């Protein structure tokens, strides 16, 4: 299937999303912050990125700006809490293709993946 990168500082979130995505047959990679995520992206050139908004070192919006500047066709889905509506709008303006509210509904996640990856 597809290569998917998870960028999230919460280990348990990365594990939960990894298990979900691997269960769907995807090859999954992860990074604990945006700076590491940029490096992993360069190494593996994933088909899709799930990125948390709030992270130390390099937050999700900074990661998104840097990634889209270098890889304008990158497919990024932001992971956010329901209270971050203005952040969601900013992320979509910066080039995110979609967003999921954490904890995300698995059926909604499958729909987003299918829409973005075909």
CATH code of the domain containing 98: 3.40.50.2300
- What range does the domain containing 79 cover? 3-117
Contact assessment for residue 100 and residue 77, using Cβ atoms and an 8 Å cutoff: yes
pLDDT confidence of residue 58: 92
Sheet holding 98-101, edge to edge: 27-31, 3-7, 48-52, 76-80, 98-101
User: When comparing pLDDT for 83 and 58, which is higher?
Assistant: 58
Q: Is the pLDDT of residue 63 over 70?
A: yes
Q: Is the pLDDT of residue 84 over 70?
A: no
Does an H or E element contain 77, and which? Answer: strand 76-80
Q: What is the model's pTM?
A: 0.94
Number of domains comprising the chain: 1
Q: Encode pLDDT of 2-14 as tens digits.
A: 999 999 999 999 9
Q: Is the pLDDT of residue 28 over 90?
A: yes
Task: Give CA–CA dist 54/10, Å, rounded.
Answer: 10
pLDDT confidence of residue 88: 86
């Amino acid at each position: 299937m597809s290569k998917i990168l998870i960028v999230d500082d919460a280990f348990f979130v990365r594990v939960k999303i990894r298990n979900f995505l691997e269960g769907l047959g995807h090859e999954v990679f992860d990074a604990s912050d945006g700076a590491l995520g940029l490096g992993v992206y360069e190494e593996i050139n994933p088909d899709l990125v799930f990125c948390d908004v709030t992270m130390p070192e390099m937050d999700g919006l900074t990661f998104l700006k840097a990634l889209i500047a270098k890889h304008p066709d990158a497919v990024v889905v932001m992971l956010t809490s329901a209270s971050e509506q203005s952040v969601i709008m900013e992320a979509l303006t910066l080039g995110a293709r979609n967003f999921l509210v954490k904890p995300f509904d698995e059926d909604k996640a499958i729909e987003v993946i299918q829409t973005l990856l075909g």
